Structure 1
Amino acid sequence: MPSISEPVVDEVDLGTAPTRLEPGTTNAIGRMLGLLGDEWTLLILQRALRGTTRYGQFLDELAISNAVLTSRLATMEREGVLRRVVYQDRPVRAEYVLTPRGRGLWPVTIAIWDWERQWVPGHAQTLPAMRHALCGQDFAPDLTCRVCRGAVPSSTVHAEWGPSGSWERSVPDSATRRRSDARADRSSAGLFPETMSIFGNRWSSALIGASLRGLTRFGDFVDALGAPPALVADRLRAFCDIGVLEARGRRGPGRVGRAEYHLTAKGHAFYPVVAVAIDWAQHWYAAEEGPALVQQHVPCEAPLGVALACDQCSADLHGSDIEIVPRSARRGAR
């Protein structure tokens, strides 16, 4: 069964050392959202973590156009997530191999997988299982504190902006394009449509982050994110449609701004995806002023650092110890 991590290769510096951010520029969260807030990038990352390395393989598995694939691979190489390795000179052929920075994104894909299994109807039966090689059990990941090893629901975290943090600096510089090829929606290589509704667009990602920070009013979302009101209204409706937010108060034609939008249990359950993504971002993008977000795990009063643990044996999870179990090989419902 395939592992979700890649063997170590001789990486370039960009893949092994944090990117230094200039003062006043887009911060670590914004850089992360600019990279991961794109459907095709997440799809390519998913396949790369499962062992895909060659251009033709990505084309076949993702039903992606040459232009889009070339663009996304170039971006991922520029951001230090992938390294282009030439394996044939005539004609020139290359592989795209994950760097340590890229392999460090495996918790994001695992957190997405778990949320989909738990909260999207039918996915618990259709998605492949994940097996922890150390204990031999099919598992679900638990978000834990690296210091006290306790659970980390969003309600136990106190967060405030750090020296490089603000809503303005946490939104990527440019909009990302959305996956529009209908063939990709039918591809088994794809991630998941509800996750894409939340995390596959920079404004959606920013809005879920704002919700987790406690924003509920339409005007506050518009002011904080600096997004066009029509776009915010569209995203709020989409989040309500999939059950991530619920509107309280007056809502209807022309009244989107009069309701308050509160996270549901399903919305709060998306927090591990956000937490591991921010943890990765603040490790790999270092601002001279200091971190974008300062977080504390309230129960132990320690600065928050997160890890994923196996819910069966409580051991920390590592990408090399996680196996993808085809549906035909599953041991039955847990």
Structure 2
Amino acid sequence: MTNPPSTPSTDTAPPLVHPSDRPTRLPAGETNAVGWTLGLIGDEWNLLILRYAMLGVRRYGIWRQELPISHAVLTRRLNVLTEMGMFERVEYQQKAKRFEYVLTRRGRDLWPVLLTIWAWESQWVPAHPERLPRMVHKTCGRTFLPTLMCAACGRPARARDVTGGFGPSGTWSRSVPAATTRRRSSSAEGAGMFPETMALIGNRWSAALLGAAFQGAHRFRDFEQRLGAPPTIISDRLRVFCDLGVFTQIPGSERADWQSYQFTDKGRAFYPVVMTAIDWGQRWFRAAEGPALVYTHRECGQDLQVQLTCDQCAGVLRGTEVLVENST
């Protein structure tokens, strides 16, 4: 297997036109839905800008006020997010030509991904530079965690409950993030709200290794063969995942000196982030050949239909029913 191509230039705009109200049609043989999705959510500034947009922020000055972000970085991210169909640029003042950035249907539809990232970080990453807000389900009035379910049968959809893998447009090389911006530096002022999420999906090799693990790869050789990455990169990513407590090393079943890398509870808990991101991506980015990934829910034997429910009342979650409250 050949190495994935390098990520596109960080200073260029997305090469496709992305309509905000209907799926983007992707050319055959090029970056698939997974790559486009990772290019978007694998950038922490994008996630932070979208998080505030979900809370009602529309104007440039408010983002500058709320985030430790430079003029150049914010301008570039807003331009890219607009070009990707996440925002619509709407003039609100004619005299001095000022614009608001209004979430489109595509942008609003990303809320399950942001919600599952928040839930995982709040439950599994105790040391945050910023205090995470509380999420309340308006229907039952209680703080909650989202539960990943199959909408076809109403049963849980944990990693062990789902089978599948690459579809017609799914290859490792085509799933490389179509990034157009540089990921926020971990040393940036006011470290972000999603530090460990970025360690898992903010690097193209990390994201690929995570995907391979959820597809059943366990040994060093498995990761090396599937990803086509240099051994030093595989070693480094495996070390990071173990340091984060996402993987644990156990002796191999064939030989004790062949280490096997298995998900911990923390690692398995990241599965809803992966599946909501794939679900969003494949609804909004459609390759000519077909989906990049296909999954079947073992319980009902049907294609997995991603749905989030409240762990307190079992009600189906909707973006308009999630209330954000600052922690005290």
TM-score, normalised by the number of residues in structure 1: 0.85
Query: 1:139: Cα distance to partner?
Result: 1.4
User: Retained in 2: the 8 A contact 1:168–1:226?
Assistant: no
Distance in 1, Cα, partners of 2:213 & 2:180: 20
Q: Does 1:204 align with 2:209?
A: no
Query: 1:249: Cα distance to partner?
Result: 4.4
Q: Does 1:169 align with 2:174?
A: yes
Instruction: Report the counterpart of residue 25 of structure 1 in structure 2.
Output: 30
Distance in 1, Cα, partners of 2:73 & 2:248: 35
Query: 1:183: Cα distance to partner?
Result: 4.9
User: Retained in 1: the 8 A contact 2:40–2:179?
Assistant: no
Q: Return the structure number with greater helix share.
A: 1
Identity of matched residues, %? 51
User: Retained in 1: the 8 A contact 2:150–2:297?
Assistant: yes
Query: 1:229: Cα distance to partner?
Result: 3.5
Instruction: Report the counterpart of residue 236 of structure 1 in structure 2.
Output: 238
Distance in 2, Cα, partners of 1:258 & 1:92: 63
Residue deviations 1:43-85, cap 9 Å, x none?
1111111111111221221211222212211111111111111
Instruction: Report the counterpart of residue 195 of structure 1 in structure 2.
Output: 197
Query: 1:258: Cα distance to partner?
Result: 5.8
Query: 1:285: Cα distance to partner?
Result: 0.7
Q: 1:13 to 1:222 in 2, by over 3 A?
A: closer
Query: 1:203: Cα distance to partner?
Result: 2.6
Aligned residue among 138, 143, 149 for 1:144 = 149
Instruction: Report the counterpart of residue 78 of structure 1 in structure 2.
Output: 83
Greater mean alpha carbon deviation, residues 129-138 or residues 144-153: 129-138
Query: 1:101: Cα distance to partner?
Result: 0.5
Q: Which amino acid aligns with 1:269?
A: A
User: Retained in 1: the 8 A contact 2:42–2:183?
Assistant: no
Greater mean alpha carbon deviation, residues 274-283 or residues 239-248: 239-248
Map 1:16-165; keep pairs closer than 5 Å: 16-121=21-126, 126-165=131-170
Aligned-partner SS, 2:46: helix
Instruction: Report the counterpart of residue 300 of structure 1 in structure 2.
Output: 300
Aligned-partner SS, 2:19: helix
Residue deviations 1:77-96, cap 9 Å, x none?
11111111111123221111
Greater mean alpha carbon deviation, residues 230-239 or residues 57-66: 230-239
Residue deviations 1:17-36, cap 9 Å, x none?
00011111111111111111
Map 1:192-271; keep pairs closer than 5 Å: 192-249=194-251, 259-271=259-271
Q: 1:45 to 1:226 in 2, by over 3 A?
A: farther
RMSD (Å), alpha carbons: 2.3
Residue deviations 1:232-286, cap 9 Å, x none?
3222211111100123349xxxxxx963322111101100000100000110011
Aligned-partner SS, 1:272: helix
Instruction: Report the counterpart of residue 10 of structure 2 in structure 1.
Output: none
